[in-house]
Every structure is written in structure tokens, then in C-alpha cells.
Amino acid sequence: MNRQRTIKVRNLNNTNRMKSDQKHFSYNSRLHDIKNFHISLKQWRMLHAVVDCGGYADAANQLHLSQSTISYAIAKLQHQLGIPLLKIEGRKAHITEAGKAMLEQSRILIRQALELEQYGENLRQGRGKELRLVVDHNFPSRLLMLALRNFFQFNHVNVRLHEVTKCQAKKALCEQTADLAISSQVPLGFLGDALIDLEHIAVAHPNHSLSGIGRSVTATDLRRQIEVVICDSVTDENYTRNDLSPENISQWRVNSLDTAIGALTERLGYAWLPKHQIKKWLDEDTLRALPLAEGCVYRKTLYLIHGRSWGRCPGAEQLAKMLFNVVATESEERPRSLAT
């Protein structure tokens, strides 16, 4: 009896110690104060395999493990969390709502673990930290290269640069695969500083009916034409609408500037395009600005957004300052809207 009481007291002390560790961890940033991690990365990896492969058998084949090993690891994971992550229907494993939430968070955990290992490999090879930069494809490349040239004069950090769409920039930030992003949309939970306003003008082919109308173009004139719109996807229903375009106008949606210009040169419609990107075609008179009645221009703001990755590159702050500096210098020499 005394021995049973001793075991119970010991178990109670262990439970209290575990709770104390967890409470201490909540208020103390020293990760080594945690005595044990109850869930391993291997368990999360097995859960991902079961979900991605659609069942235990396929996951076992993919990971080269026995099905019983995976089944035991997932069962233990659910017991440790105290919530059901998977439910079996027939021969298929279906993820629960709680499982979906945990799956998304664990994807970040696994990705960061892989990044940590890659960081160690970079240090071993003398490459140091890598700065991950995603940039809206509308941002002036000349200003970007000026900022990077200034950055490389004082830093020996590798830069991974991707020109992306608005949706791709949001995904990179939310998945924590970007240290800095330049985008027209600041995702929920992030802070962005206005970096630059890009001027868009309405243009068409010189031989298009709108160009040769002989008077100012009105909203009624535009409604009779096709507007070529560049968006992230031709099926994207949530693109940012240009407030200067009339309602109920016919639109052709494309996903690149080259395709839009190709459509315009065939006189298929008109489009609002960034003026700095189409200067070449304006100078060659391949495209011509439409004489709008109000003489309106459409401006889109691009924001500089910091990622929330644990391993944010120290050079990110310095590159951010250099980006603001080159834009500020440009605005002193020309209007902030980069009209030319």
C-alpha cells in the first residue's frame, strides 16, 4: 500500500513538474527550460504523409515504414494532443477540422526545421544567411537593382529574388518563406509601409477606334470597348478593380504584361497599364495614351512588408532602408508617381 502511495505521489509530482515546465515556458524565452518535448517532428511528418497520400498504406510506402509504425505514431500523437486529427471512413483517412488547423501550423514547424538545417549547411560552406526577397512584378526593376547594388557594397549576404504576383507574395509571407516583400496587398496580421505609387494610364493601339475618336474619351465610350485586365489568374474573381473603369464593361483577363500588349497591338481593346513599364511602346507609338475626358490617372500603392520568420536575415532592415532611399531619391528628381 505504501509503495502504491509512493508511486502515485511520484506520478503526481511528475505531472505537477510538467505543468510547471509548461507554465514557466509561457513566461520565459529560455527554450532549454523545457525538460521534454512530447511530440516529435517524425510524428508530424507521418501525419503529413497520411493526409497527403490519402491513407496509412500509401504513407507507409512513401516513407518506407511499416503501416503499424505509422498507425501507432498517429494514435500516440492524437492521445498526446487530446484531440482527434484523423477519422477513418472505409479505407481512407480523412482529416478533422482540428486536424486541419494543427496540420497548417505543423507545416510551418517542419519548414522551419528544414530551414534551420539548411542554414547550418550554408554556414558550413561559408555562405552565411540568405535573404529571401519577393517583389511585385510591377515594381520598377531599375530602382530594385539600384537598391541591391547599394546593399551589396556593405553586405555579403546571398539574396534569393522572386518577381511575383499579389497572390504569390501573400502566400510567401503567410508561409514565412520571405524576409521582405513588395506587394500591393498587406496580408492580415502583417504591417506594411507605403513604398511607392505607380501611375497607370489608359492606352490603346494608335489605330484603335478610341485613339481616333477625335475628342475626349468618356465613360460611355469605354463601355462599348473591351478592357484588357492583368490579374494573378484568368479565373481570379477577387482581383482589385480599377475604380476608373466603368461598371458592366466587357473584360478580357490575362496574366502577363506581354500578353496584354499583344492584345492591344492587335486592336482588341484598351488597358490601364503602369506608365513606367510601357514607355518603350509609347515612345515607338505602338501604344497611345487615351485622351480621357477627365484626364484621370490610376495609381496603385506598393507596400514594403517584413516577414515574420524566426530567422529573419539581419540584412533585411538595411535593404528596406535602401529601398526607401532609392524611391525617395527618385521622387526628388521626378514626381513620386514615376510618370516617365
Does residue 54 belong to any structural domain of this protein? Answer: yes
- The residue ranking higher by pLDDT, 94 or 186, is 186
Q: Which of 57, 87, 119 is the last residue of a domain?
A: 119
Nearest 10 degrees: Cα torsion 261, 262, 268, 272: -10
Show the beta-strand stretches assigned E in the chain. 86-89, 92-95, 130-136, 158-164, 180-183, 192-204, 226-230, 250-254, 271-274, 288-289, 298-306
Instruction: Assign residue 220 the CATH number of its domain.
Output: 3.40.190.290
Mean per-residue pLDDT over the chain, rounded: 80
Distance CA 100, CA 289 (A): 50
Res. 27: pLDDT tops 50: no
Decide if 236 is inside a domain.
Answer: yes
Give me the percent of the chain exceeding a pLDDT of 90.
26
206 has a pLDDT exceeding 90: yes
Residues 250 and 291 in one domain: yes
When pLDDT is averaged across residues 3-24 and rounded to a whole number, the result is 48
In a domain, 217, yes or no: yes
Model confidence, pTM: 0.60
* CATH code of 100's domain: 1.10.10.10
Please answer whether residues 235 and 226 qualify as being in contact, where contact means their C-beta atoms are separated by less than 8 angstroms: no
Residues 92 and 169 in one domain: no
pLDDT the model gives residue 301: 93
Which of 20-24, 101-105, 178-182, 247-251 is predicted least confidently?
A: 20-24
Domain co-membership, 75 together with 43: yes
Q: Which residues pair with 253 in a beta bridge?
A: 229
Domain count, the chain: 2
Give yes or no: residues 59 and 197 share one domain. no
Q: Is the pLDDT of residue 232 over 50?
A: yes
Whether the predicted pLDDT of 248 surpasses 90:
no
CB 158 within 8 A of CB 130: yes
**The pLDDT of residue 89:** 79
pLDDT of residue 337: 44
Judge if 199 and 138 occupy the same domain: yes
C-alpha–C-alpha distance, residues 25 and 31, integer Å: 7
Residue 188, pLDDT score: 85
Q: What's residue 218's pLDDT?
A: 85
